[in-house]
Amino acid sequence: DIVMTQSPASLSVSPGETATLSCRASQSISTNLAWYQQKPGQAPRLLIYGASTRATGIPPRFSGSGSGTEFTLTISSLQSEDFAVYYCQQYNDWPPYTFGQGTKLEIK
């Protein structure tokens, strides 16, 4: 199984600043990587797929990059509604589909 490792586990950033979240795959997954946002008590929401393509309705302050085994989610000009848990997921080699353990983005 492909192991997805996210770092850091938690991140404190001030509103208006930029947050950079990382995700590493245990083997190459090309660009078959998605990022999801989850707020407390809510279902996950797809943000980014194909490593860098924003999903429908996702604002441009969310951007993704990377390929192979190293991926980054960048959130610029952080707004209050962006503070949440973020998960990466590979869909290149399944079953199983695997998720990272999550990065909790907190307000500083």
Residues forming the site for other proteins (CB under 8 A):
32, 34, 36, 38, 42-46, 49, 55-56, 87, 89, 91-92, 94-102
| In the complex, minimum distance from the CB of residue 67 to other proteins, in angstroms, rounded to a whole number | 15
CA–CA dist 67, 78 (Å, integer)? 25
- Report strand pairing: 98-99 vs 45-49: unpaired
| In the complex, minimum distance from the CB of residue 73 to other proteins, in angstroms, rounded to a whole number | 14
CA–CA dist 42, 35 (Å, integer)? 16
Cβ nearer to other proteins, comparing 22 with 38: 38
Collapse the DSSP code of 74 into the 3-class scheme (helix H, G, I; strand E, B; otherwise coil) and give the result: strand
Cβ nearer to other proteins, comparing 18 with 101: 101
Collapse the DSSP code of 83 into the 3-class scheme (helix H, G, I; strand E, B; otherwise coil) and give the result: coil
DSSP 84: S
Cβ nearer to other proteins, comparing 36 with 71: 36
CA–CA dist 25, 97 (Å, integer)? 12
Cβ nearer to other proteins, comparing 54 with 69: 54
| In the complex, minimum distance from the CB of residue 6 to other proteins, in angstroms, rounded to a whole number | 9
| In the complex, minimum distance from the CB of residue 18 to other proteins, in angstroms, rounded to a whole number | 24
